[in-house]
Every structure is written in structure tokens, then in C-alpha cells.
Amino acid sequence: MTVCTFAFVFGVLTVATFFFRLPVGLRRWVFTLGSAAFVSLLVPNRASWVALGAFLVSGWATAHVVSRRRSGFVLAGYLAALLVVFVVLKKYAFLQFFVPRQILDHPIGIVGLSFMLFRQIHFVVDAAEGQIEPVPSLWIYLNYQLNLFTLLSGPIQRFNDFRAWWDNPVPLHQDRHDLFKAIWRVLTGVLLIAVVGSLFQKMSDRALTDFALVRPKDYLRIPIIFYTFPAYVFFNFAGYCEIVIGAASLFGLKLPENFNRPFFARNMIDYWMRWHITLSIWIRDYVFTPLFTALVRRRRESAQSFAMLCYFVALFLAGVWHGASLNFIVFGLLNGVGVAAAKLWETRILKSGGRAGLRSYLQSRRVRSVAMVANFHFACLTMMFFTPNLALAALAHLHGR
């Protein structure tokens, strides 16, 4: 079950027509039933149900413990254990060197587990820091985690934003115009995935197959792959976000935006604040900031070097999170290099021209245009490592030669 299906779109639009005619308590039940039905279509077996339950209940219980008695040891221990469980459940390839095969052959498959991990880490950390008060009931937490609009691939909504809606699920759209705009947004998402994204996917796949296997000397296929594959990834994910953000709004639930014209970014730092925004902000809040803060508190004079290191580590982890195969490691490394280089460049301008120099650099239209084109191509280059297929095709091509 995906969100770009007739069943999902028709079902959501139908329920939205009567959702706000129900009493508030019943609205929550309808939401819960919708999410439960959606999840039940995605969980393949009993072992997966048990693992899913244990995964989520552990986060809720730990949040209760660390919110009452703030213990860095308990928090760090739990997060480490959670990450170990996560990589085992996801069967990361590198585990074959450390973990017995019987364990890695487990039948557990949980769709959306990666996004549950993000929400769970945020929930536990914020509860420990007193930012989620009071820690909610298990029932509300499960509704937050298994929300059918964010279950598969985000956007990563923060718990307090969800709770504000849960406590008072009222309409978001004030008039028919707003309502139609939301419905149009859902339908636009369907078109982006089913028509535009699909078209770019076919072009990319065909060029890839041709270049790898059929016409290895037809180098014109390379630019086709270079531009169409990133376009496919963008339209597919942006379309998904249009559907879920538009659909959730029909139920009064405002989800955070995930894209803001990423291919118009002037550098890779800017790019990551426009592409998969909720993931970028999550990485900033729960990887970059704690790591950088911890290092700088120890040695403030090395802040600049630590910043490069933290940018690199944060983006590298973001890349590896997408998958454990070698191509994702390269994807992460390239992104890490990209953001670190952008920061170094800015630091250099600041040193040579001061604040005024940086201001005129940032305001120059010519610089912005050149930077946008250059960054667009670098972003496309990183995307070449977003799928194992391209790496395999390159190998097949080299082997064929």
C-alpha cells in the first residue's frame, strides 16, 4: 500500500467529507482506525508486529523514565541500544561480519521503521530535556508514531505539533477555496508521481540499460541519466509529500513542508535546507548541534575545525541512513564534502572581505546564478550514488569494455 493509489486517495477524500461532522472524540477514533488499517496492510507477519510493538513501547517507556529522573547514562544507553536494534532489523550489509547469519535471517520487515526511529529519538531526547510535558499516554504516542500520513516517509513531524492537533482536531481550512486548494494539492501529488516522476524514471531506466548493456559507446546516455534520475527522485518524493501534506490538512493536521525548490540552492548547505527539510532539521538538531556543542564546549578555539568535522559527520550519517550499501556511503561522503566546502568558501570570503564582503557576495545576482548552476550539477552528481543500480550499471559498462 502506498499513498499514490486510488484506494488511499479515494479513502482519505471520502472520510474527510464527514470527519468534522463527527464529535471530537469520535474524530480521534476514526483517525486511529484509519492508521491501524493502513499499518495492518504493511506489516507482513506476527514477528514484525511483536518487533514493532516492542520498538515503540520501549521508546515511550524510556521517555517516561528519563523525564522523571534525568539520567544521561540511561538516555545514552537507550539510544545506543535502539540504534543497534535498528541496524539489525534493517539488516545492514556490514553486519554480516559481526552478527550470526541466523539472527540476520529474521523474518521481520517494518515499513517506515527509519522514520519511526527519527521520531522516537526526538521524542525520548525532548522528554529527557523537559520539552515534552507531560509525557503522553501510550495511546497518543502510538497514534503519533503510526499516523498514516507520516508513517511511510515523513515528513518528520515533532510530537508537540501532533499533540496540539490531537488535543483539538479542528478544521484547518476556513473556506471552500482553501479546501479545494488542499484537494488540488493531493491530486497534484498523484500527477507528480504517476505522470512526471514516472516519465523521468522510464527515461532514466532506458538510458541506463542501453548504456550498461546495449550501446556501451553511446555516451549521450550519460547526460540523460545525469539529469533524469535526480528529476525522478525529486518528483517522486515531492509528489508523495504533496499527497500526504494535502490529505492531512483535510483532517485539520498541519504537517511541516519538506521541499522548497531545492535545485535553486546556491550551495550544499542551502540545498539541504530545501531538500527533505524535516530530515535536514532533524539531523541539525539531533546530530550536528549536540556533537558540535559538545566539542566546542571543550575547545572553543577549534570551533571552525570542529564545524567542518560535524558538517561532514552529519551529512555522512544522513547518506548512510538511506541504505548500507557502498553507494550510499559515497553519497554521504559527497554530501559531507559539499557542505564542508560551502562553509570553507564562506569563511574565506568573510576573512578576505569581512561582513561587508560577505553581504555583497550574497547579494550579487551574477554570483547567485553561477552558484545555483554549479550546485545543481553537484547535487545531481551526488544523486548518481543514490541507487545501487547506477553503480552496478557503471561496473557492467566497464566490464563490457
Partner 1 sequence: MMPYSEELQGVFREVFDDDGIVLRPDMTAADFDGWDSLQHVTLMIAIETRFNVRFATAEISKLKNDGSTIGTMLEILGAKLGHP
Residues that bind partner 1 (CB under 8 A): 125-126, 129-131, 158, 160, 269, 281, 284-286, 288-290, 292-293, 296-297, 300, 303, 307, 311, 343, 346, 350, 354-355, 358-359, 362
What the block records as the C-alpha cell of 293 is 556543542
Which residue number, 227 or 271, has a Cβ lying nearer to partner 1?
271
315, 275 in Cβ contact below 8 A? no
Which residue number, 21 or 297, has a Cβ lying nearer to partner 1?
297
What distance in Å separates the CA atoms of residue 385 and residue 81, rounded to the nearest whole number? 29
Residue 273 C-beta: closest distance to partner 1, Å = 8
What the block records as the C-alpha cell of 167 is 488535543
Residue 175 C-beta: closest distance to partner 1, Å = 23
Residue 44 C-beta: closest distance to partner 1, Å = 35
What distance in Å separates the CA atoms of residue 87 and residue 99, rounded to the nearest whole number? 11
Residue 142 C-beta: closest distance to partner 1, Å = 21
What distance in Å separates the CA atoms of residue 144 and residue 248, rounded to the nearest whole number? 13
Which residue number, 156 or 231, has a Cβ lying nearer to partner 1?
156
Which residue number, 76 or 195, has a Cβ lying nearer to partner 1?
76
SS3 338: helix
Which residue number, 36 or 303, has a Cβ lying nearer to partner 1?
303
What distance in Å separates the CA atoms of residue 332 and residue 300, rounded to the nearest whole number? 27
List the one residue out of 190, 57, 188, 69 whose CA is nearest residue 128: 69
- Length of the chain equals 401
Which residue number, 51 or 125, has a Cβ lying nearer to partner 1?
125
Residue 280 C-beta: closest distance to partner 1, Å = 9
Which residue number, 95 or 296, has a Cβ lying nearer to partner 1?
296
132, 67 in Cβ contact below 8 A? yes
Residue 284 C-beta: closest distance to partner 1, Å = 5
CA dist list (Å): 117 to 34, 80, 146, 345, 380? 22, 12, 12, 34, 28
Residue 143 C-beta: closest distance to partner 1, Å = 20
1, 148 in Cβ contact below 8 A? no
Sign of the CA dihedral 22, 27, 33, 35? positive
In terms of C-beta density within 10 A (0-12 exposed, 13-18 middle, 19 or more buried), how is residue 148 classed? Answer: buried
What the block records as the C-alpha cell of 379 is 547535487
Contacts of 245 (CB under 8 A, 6+ apart): 149, 155, 185, 255, 257, 258
H/E element holding 295?
helix 289-298
Which residue number, 358 or 394, has a Cβ lying nearer to partner 1?
358
Contacts of 228 (CB under 8 A, 6+ apart): 200, 201, 203, 204, 207
Residue 380 C-beta: closest distance to partner 1, Å = 23
Residue 358 C-beta: closest distance to partner 1, Å = 5
Which residue number, 35 or 145, has a Cβ lying nearer to partner 1?
145
